[in-house]
Amino acid sequence: MKIALAQLNYHIGNFEHNQKHIIHHINLAKEKGADLVVFAELAICGYPPRDFLNYTDFIERCDITAKEIAKHCVGIACILGLPIKNDILEGKDLYNAAYFIEDGNVKVITKKALLPTYDVFDEYRYFEPNDEFKCIMFKGKKIALTICEDLWNINDNPLYVSCPMDELIKEQPDLMINIAASPFNYRHDEDRIQVLSDNAQKYNLPLFYVNQVGAQTEIIFDGGSLVFDEIGEVKAEMKYFEEDLQVFDLDEVQHVKNKYPAAPRAEDIEQIHDALVLGIRDYFKKSGFTKATLGLSGGIDSAIVCALACKALGAENVMAVLMPSKYSSDHSIKDALDLVKNIGCKHEIIEIKEAANAFDSMLAKPFTGLSPNLTEENIQARCRGIILMAMSNKFGYILLNTSNKSECAVGYGTLYGDMCGAIGVIGDVYKTQIFQLARYINKDVEIIPENTIVKPPSAELRPDQKDSDSLPDYGILDEILFHHIELQKGSKAIIAEGYDEALVHRVLKMVTQAEFKRYQTPPILRVSPKAFGMGRRMPIVGKYTP
């Protein structure tokens, strides 16, 4: 049996695009001699459809699209993920399901049993869990078909009380197929491979796994579809961050060594870079936009975002706006212009001194007798926000936010100023990782000016301002934040790791107090195991500080 894995980029709710794309790859797989082509979880509608699933028409269009696709499954079978109705009154109204289509008809329906509700997942909000398990007979082989999470209940701390493969193995299947929508984070590829390998070993079966690729707002899918033999050895590893279709012979997977070359797996910082480029590109393409703008300060954060945007959209489609204040240094303006020269994007220079002075004048009476403080600094940042949104409105640019994760975590940013934008490009990238990204981007030729990388970070909103005036050293700060956010440790556990007690309490208090700001920021491209946004849900007015 020859099995094609179709690793595709779907568009949520774009049934015409998804249908055309799937049919094209059915025909391509047929040309390559495949007997069966496998598509990802919820391929028909895209993942995650979220509350689109509450609309009857949405579910009906999934069914109509699947039936149209089925007409093309003659001479080849396919496995296709989609939401379907639950005809039983009790329970949720839908199943997360997969169709097995052969000879133009749906022959078998498999339903997902384990419905994740952690991090970015919220499937039990919509779907009823499956409790009936049956293998699929095709070309003399029994296929144990599962959907994503159904294979993840295999670790030392299982989240579920049952395991679908424990039921399916009773029918003595010949192979496993798992269709998935497994989001990217820079630590996930190794975990994913280990979990799938453990399944192949436990059940002593070859395993074919297909994942999506592409970005859906803040969630990024990295592809990396996999094939394992019955002892859990990786036999094939498909491309990362790209669409891919490959055909595998079941007998060769089981008996031939080194038949299918594995795609090289990149280091973490390269994965983050590629994920962010894909995230920007898909956000614009799927939203119907082509041009971006951002504030370019001469600092490393905005330089990184500008470089990523030019890579994703083309330098000709990026407008960098330099907005020097009366405190901006000459070298910051030069650094920004050097980047523009290196990268070839468009730029404008719009000084904010006049606007900031106008606000100072307007507020002189109510502020009489009060010394300048953070208020005046924030006014300058908001002047920049107004300018950037004006450029967006006038020219149709989409504004990219340039705040990093360290700043987002502790609230080091101005609402309606430097925190505005349509998509947060680096809001899940710590400052220490930002420097690594700069070095990676410069690996072949200098794009980010060297002075931008080595100079002390500063918002330049008051004389001689440095980030270190307000924040701990980024090296220590990011370590504490990682323990707290990604590893979900409270102050006692972090202090026990050897960090200064007063500093830990200070940092965690800043994180808690900044929650109201994060609720008002744009969606952030997710590249870490725990990103701000839909995967981290904290109350704003809660009293508790971990």
Strand partners, 98: 81, 110
Residue in the block written with tokens 């006014």: 379
As given in the structure block, the two tokens for residue 486 are: 């990604």
Please give the full DSSP string across 37-50, using - where no structure is assigned: EE--TTTTT-S--G
Helix axes of 300-313 and 268-287: crossing angle, nearest 10 degrees: 60
Please give the full DSSP string across 270-309, using - where no structure is assigned: HHHHHHHHHHHHHHHHHHT---EEEE--SSHHHHHHHHHH
Is the Cβ–Cβ distance between 103 and 73 less than 8 Å? yes
Active site residue 41: yes
- Of the candidates 2, 111, 112, 235, the residue annotated as catalytic is 112
As given in the structure block, the two tokens for residue 160 are: 């579920």
- Of the candidates 148, 310, 345, 408, the residue annotated as catalytic is 148
Torsion angle (degrees, nearest 10) of CA 321, 322, 325, 328: 150
Please give the full DSSP string across 471-516, using - where no structure is assigned: S--HHHHHHHHHHHHTS---HHHHHHTT--HHHHHHHHHHHHHTHH
Amino acid, res. 508: L
Burial (CB count within 10 angstroms: exposed 0-12, middle 13-18, buried 19+), residue 499: middle
Distance CA 448, CA 454 (A): 11
Residue in the block written with tokens 């195991």: 529
Q: DSSP 3-state assignment of 412?
A: coil
- Of the candidates 41, 128, 149, 237, the residue annotated as catalytic is 41
| 56 CB neighbour count, 10 Å cutoff | 9
Residue in the block written with tokens 């900031």: 356
Active site residues: 41, 112, 148
